[in-house]
Amino acid sequence: MGQVAWKGLFLSLFDYKTEKYVIAKNKKVGVLYRVVQLSILAYLVGWVFVVKKGYQDTDTSLQSSVITKLKGVAFTNTSELGERLWDVADYVIPPQGENVFFVMTNLIVTPNQRQDTCPEVGRTEPLGPQTPTKLGSISIPNALCYKDGDCPAGEAVVAGNGIKTGHCLKDRGSIRGTCEILAWCPVEKRSKPKKPLLASAENFTVYIKNSIRFPRFKFSKMNVLATDNESYLKSCRYSTEHPYCPIFLLGDIVRWAGSDFQEMALEGGVIGIQIEWNCDLDKAPSECNPHYSFSRLDNKFAEKSISSGYNFRFAKYYQDARGVDYRTLIKAYGIRFDVMVNGKAGKFNIIPTIINIGSGLALMGAGAFFCDLVLLYLIKKSNFYRGKKYEEVKSSSRKSLSSPTLNGNQSPDQLDGL
């Protein structure tokens, strides 16, 4: 018995299979087949070619250059700085006009610092007449001391302002004191600002010049209107009527990002400016236009958090008549703007067109395969249709196998009892 089975398996290797087309007069399967065909056709035409533009070759290796320029002046009058006029050289950092720029809206100034020894009283405890009755700062635990041995000379104060000198400074009758340090004295104040100093920065303008190039198609464009009118950029503002006037009010940018400028200017934040170039190069170059979107990149819901806002420090140095070095320390709060550019371009190419058409035809075959499964295995009279579709023929006889199920000669009515 085993030899017969192995012999049959061996001889089956030399069988030849050919397709046999059977027209099934079954309206349900016929309707299903047409629905599947129409669905695949709608997907191919609507999604692949119309929405995704599957007939195009695409280039996503966008090359971009961004140049920014700010304009605006502000006037302030404070006890520390007196009357002062602020222009772009004062509040824009860095001044080169790159794709990331910072606009200072608030600051804390510690003037007339020089290298000397002074108590590390903490950034919330200024020196001079306002020095607290008791020295020592909880905000800088490493500066607390009870004796000179708690302030080893030459050791830096962790999260502090200088190097310990070996002395513990105390008030009269006080047990706890603060370490004396070698630093820029007086040390920086840490009192947070109550309102933005440059609140009028809301009305400053920024000019964002963006040049892009798609190297595959050798296509270049700018987001600035090509005109000889020198007064155009001096009078226009970005709007739907002027999409090629990339001059924005800072207040508008923050508002479009979903934030309030005055609240954000108090302790700072980060705004993202997104420029999107999606170009269909089968159309005229004038149809390739930039699209702008704005978002707040830092966590705007963390205003009460210790990590909220955006700030950094810088100093301005000078010497007095005796040649002693002094500096004015500035802790700057403000809004950082990140300009990000991306996009893609597409143009007709026969290769992706053929590939997508071939994929669609393959899906058509998959639809026919699905309908075959329904016809041959899932409907009530599947045995009858299966017998009509598959027939085994031997060269020695014209007769089919005697199996009533497989020869396909029965009518559907004869199979009602199956």
Dist. CA 352–CA 349, nearest whole Å: 6
Residue with tokens 């000379």: 153
Q: What is the pLDDT of residues 3-46, one digit of tens each?
A: 777 877 777 777 777 776 777 777 888 888 888 889 999 999 99
Dist. CA 108–CA 124, nearest whole Å: 12
Can you give the pTM of this predicted structure?
0.75
Q: Which one, of 203, 227, 266, 259, lies nearest residue 70 by Cα? A: 203
Question: What pLDDT was estimated at residue 85?
Answer: 94
Q: What is the pLDDT of residues 73-89, one digit of tens each?
A: 999 988 777 899 999 99
Instruction: Give the type of residue at 100.
Output: V
Rounded average pLDDT over 217-244: 90
pLDDT higher than 70, residue 72: yes
pLDDT higher than 90, residue 351: yes
What one-character DSSP code corresponds to residue 401?
A: P
Dist. CA 244–CA 289, nearest whole Å: 9
Q: What is the pLDDT of residues 328-344, one digit of tens each?
A: 999 999 999 999 999 99
CA 173, 179, 185, 186 dihedral sign is: negative
Q: Three-state SS for 185?
A: strand
Question: What pLDDT was estimated at residue 379?
Answer: 80
Greater pLDDT, 306 or 296: 296
Question: What pLDDT was estimated at residue 1?
Answer: 56
Residue with tokens 């893609």: 344
Provide the percentage of residues in the chain whose pLDDT is more than 70.
86
Question: What pLDDT was estimated at residue 157?
Answer: 92
Question: What pLDDT was estimated at residue 393?
Answer: 66
Dist. CA 182–CA 137, nearest whole Å: 17
Sequence-ordered alpha helix ranges (H) in 43-128: 88-91
Dist. CA 261–CA 254, nearest whole Å: 6
- Please report the beta strands in 239-309, taking only residues with DSSP state E, as ranges in sequence order: 247-249, 269-280, 290-296
